Structure 1
C-alpha cells in the first residue's frame, strides 16, 4: 500500500483531516451525526496511519496484526449495529477492507502489499464497491439544510450533513487510492 511519497502524504493529510472532523461530529447535538462519527473517525485515523510512506516509517511487524485486530473488532461492532441501521453495512465493508489490507501487508515481503502478483479477486471486488460508493456519494453531494438551518438558525460545524457527506466521500476516495497502491 505504500506507494510514492507525494500521494502517500496527500492520503495521510486527507484521512487525518477527515478523522479530525469526525471527532468534531461526535460532539454534535444531533443524534444521527454522533451515531457513526466515532467509527468514521477510527477509519480516518487508521487510514492515515496506514498511508504514511514507507520511506518515512516502516511499521514494526506486529503493527499489521494490530491493525487487523482493531478493525476486526470494528467490523464486528458494525455487523451488530447493521441490524438497526443499514448504513453500518458500509462501515462493515470498510472495516473488512482495512482488515484485508492489514493482512495483505503483513503477509507480503517487506510489508508493501501485493506487489507484482496482480490484483486478487477480493481487491478487485473492493475496488468496484468503493468506486461505486464514491460515484454515488459524489452525485449526492449537494447542500442539504440541517435541522437548525431549516429553523432559520446557524448550524454548528459538527451538524452539517453536507460536510459529513464530503468526509465520507473523501474516505471512499482514499480507500480506492489505498487499494490501488496495494
Structure 2
C-alpha cells in the first residue's frame, strides 16, 4: 500500500484486530481471511517488499472467498452479498497492484492503479455501508436480541460486535481504496 506509513500501520492494526475478532466469534473463515489479507496488503512497502507473484496469489485467494460467499446458504443474503463485494474489492485491489507493479518494474509507490470508475463505485459502496451500518450501531434503543435463558450473551458473540467488526473492515477497505 502506498500512502502515509502511519495510516498504513493503523490499517494493519485495524484489519488484524477484525480478523482476530472473527476467529474469536467463530465466524466463517472467509471473514477472518479477508481481515488477514487486508492487514498484509496494508503493510507499508518500505517495510516489506513482497514477491511479484504474491499479489496474484492474493487475487486468486480472494476470488475463491468471493465465490464461496455466493454459494447457496441459509445465512442472510445481504451479508453474503456484502461479503462477496468485499472479497471482490480485494481481488480488484490485488489485481490493480499486480498490474501497476509489473508495469513499473516493482511497486507503484507513487502512481495510481486501477480503473477510476470502478474505484469510485467501490468507494461509494463502502462509504454508504459504513454510514448505514455505523448509524444502526450508534442508535440508542436499537434492536437487541434477548439474552438466552441461561444468562447474558458473551461479549464476543454479541451481534453488535459482529456489526462493529464489519463496519471497521468496510472503513479499512474504504481507506485502502483511497490509496489505490
Shorter-chain TM band:
0.7 to 0.9
Which residue, 93, 108, 111 being the options, matches 2:107? 111
How many residue pairs end up in the alignment?
172
- Which whole-Å CA distance do the structure 1 matches of 2:41 and 2:55 have between them? 9
Identify unmatched segments of 5+ residues in structure 2: none
- Which whole-Å CA distance do the structure 2 matches of 1:175 and 1:163 have between them? 18
| Cα separation, partners in 2 of 1:100 and 1:159, compared to 1, 3 Å | same
- Which whole-Å CA distance do the structure 2 matches of 1:113 and 1:95 have between them? 24
**Are 1:71 and 1:99, in contact at CA under 8 Å, matched by a contact in 2?**
yes
Per-residue deviation, residues 86-127 of structure 1 (Å, max 9, x unmatched): 120111111110000000000003333782579611101100
TM-score in terms of structure 2 length: 0.86
- Which whole-Å CA distance do the structure 2 matches of 1:78 and 1:173 have between them? 20
SS in structure 2 opposite 1:140? helix
Between 1:115-124 and 1:41-50, the stretch displaced more is 115-124
> Which has the larger helix fraction?
1
Instruction: Look up the match of 1:29.
Output: none
**Are 2:96 and 2:113, in contact at CA under 8 Å, matched by a contact in 1?**
no
Q: CA RMSD in A?
A: 2.2
Within a 5 Å distance, the mapping from 1:19-168 to structure 2 comes to 19-26=19-26, 34=27, 37-81=28-72, 85-86=76-77, 87-108=79-100, 109=104, 110-112=106-108, 115-116=111-112, 120-142=116-138, 144-147=143-146, 149=147, 151=149, 153-168=151-166
